[in-house]
Amino acid sequence: MVENIHDQSQLDRLGQLGRKLRREQRLLSCFRLRTNYDLLIGAAVLGALIVLAFIGPLLSPYDPLEMKVLDRLKPPSAAHWLGTDEFGRDLLTRVLHGARLSLGIGITVTLLTSLLGLIIGVYAAFYKPLDHILMRICDGLIAFPGILLAIALMATLGASASNVIIALTIVFTPSIARTIRSTALVVREQPYIEAIRAQGATNARIIWLHIAPNALSPLLVQAAFVFAEAILSEAALSFLGAGIPAPAPSWGNILQASKSVISKAWWMVTFPGIALVLSVLSLNMLGDGLRDFLDPRSKRKGKGSRRVRRVAP
């Protein structure tokens, strides 16, 4: 009943087919990407901000920390495109350096919370006793208003950029862990997990190769929002004086300094504000776009999937 399929030509043919299908799928992803405007615009704006943050300071002739008393509070001009601050520092240079700090903190916090949240969430979902302990700790942390918890942590840890990262990671991890856990709980009860177990898979294999990948898409979406929130929170902490210490040019610091001169120098509050709004907005769009992109239902309904099916003989 089984014909000979061990000969090489057959296998080659199937190998080719596999490659062709994978190519089709890539095309299909591109197609779906092209129509997902949230994702495209979000990614483009965020990408532009990141590029600016890294090459901008190199092009600027000014030092973000050097004070020039004569140039205090100059409005935007050809020399200082965005004007200067109360110590005569070039605002554009400071905003660009601030982008490095703020986006850098945002990315680091996002990566750390995602990793920790994934580990905690997946293990909590898989091992009942662990679940009780981990989730009570998370509940405790979530019970505090996030920004107050961050301030309290900063007060004990001391003001520095790395402590901001630690504090924000502690603040955001519980909610990510909870999201992952609830998804993982659903996945864990799926018959295909039991089917894998019936084949003799180890727990580690089940957790990392089957439960975690299925919990990944909500994680990605959530991560984009955490990124946005981390940037905002860093700004808020710095604005309140509990974040990055003063001369360093974070967006929060610039905004805080602008507070006292807001009636004299509108540019000092406007431009870092715009930078902040732009990055948070783009991240939110990115998050929404990702959600649409990763939703398996849209995958099934999409026009492209039919095309793939027709290609396969």
Partner 1 sequence: MANEPEARKPLLEVKALSKKFPVYGSFGRLFGAKQYVHAVTDVSFTLYEGETYGLVGESGSGKSTTGRTILGLTPVTSGEVRYRGQDLAKLPPKQLRKLRRELQMVFQDPYSSLNPRKRIGRILEEALVIHRIDDRQRRQQAVFRILQIVGLQPEHYFRYPHEFSGGQRQRLGLARALILQPRIVVCDEPVSALDVSIQSQILNMLRELQGELGLTLLFITHDISVVRYISDRIGIMYLGRIVEEAPTDALFANPQHPYTKALFSAVPRISERGLKERTVLKGEIPSPLSPPSGCVFHTRCPLATDRCRSEAPAWRETKPQHHTACHYA
Partner 2 sequence: MSQMSPASEKSRTSQMSRSGQKDRTALLDVRGLTTRFATERGPVTAVDGISFAMEPGEIIGIVGESGCGKSVMSQSIIRLLDYTDHVSYEGEVWLSGEELLRLSPSRMRKVRGNRVSMVFQDPLTSLDPLYPIGDQIAESLRQHRRLSRKEAQARALELLRMTGIPSPEQRIKEYPHQLSGGMQQRVMIAIALACEPQLLIADEPTTALDVTIQAQILELIVELNRRLGMGVLFITHDLGVVSEICTSVKVMYLGQIVEEMTTARLFANPLHPYTQGLIRSIPRLDGDRRRKLHVIEGTVPSLADRPEGCKFVTRCPYADAKCRSEEPPLETAEEGHRLKCWYYREIRSGAREATQYGE
* Residues at the contact surface with partner 1, assessed by CB under 8 A: 1-3, 5-6, 10-11, 14, 17-18, 21, 190-192, 194-202, 205, 210, 213-214, 296, 300, 309, 312-313
Closest approach, Cβ 303 to partner 2, in A, equals 7
Residue 303 interaction partner, one of partner 2, partner 1, none, beta carbon < 5-8 Å per kind = partner 2
Residue 14 interaction partner, one of partner 1, partner 2, none, beta carbon < 5-8 Å per kind = partner 1
DSSP string, 231-256: HHHHHHHHHTTSSS-TTS--HHHHHH
User: Using CB under 8 A as the criterion, what x/- string covers residues 273-312 for binding partner 2?
Assistant: ----------------------------x-x--x------
Judged by beta carbon, residue 19 or residue 303, the one nearer partner 2 is: 303
Judged by beta carbon, residue 28 or residue 96, the one nearer partner 2 is: 28
Judged by beta carbon, residue 29 or residue 284, the one nearer partner 1 is: 29
Judged by beta carbon, residue 100 or residue 188, the one nearer partner 1 is: 188
Tell me the residue type at 254.
Answer: I
Residues that bind partner 2 (rule: CB under 8 A) add up to a total of 3
Locus of tokens 């199937």: 14
Tell me the residue type at 245.
Answer: P
CB count, 10 Å around CB of 308?
A: 14
Q: Which of 82, 136, 106, 115 is nearest to 229 (CA)?
A: 106
Are 195 and 205 in contact by the 8 Å Cβ rule? The answer is no
Are 187 and 214 in contact by the 8 Å Cβ rule? The answer is yes
Residues 98 and 65: their CA atoms lie apart, in Å, by 12
Are 106 and 298 in contact by the 8 Å Cβ rule? The answer is no
What is the binding site for partner 2 (CB under 8 A)?
Answer: 301, 303, 306
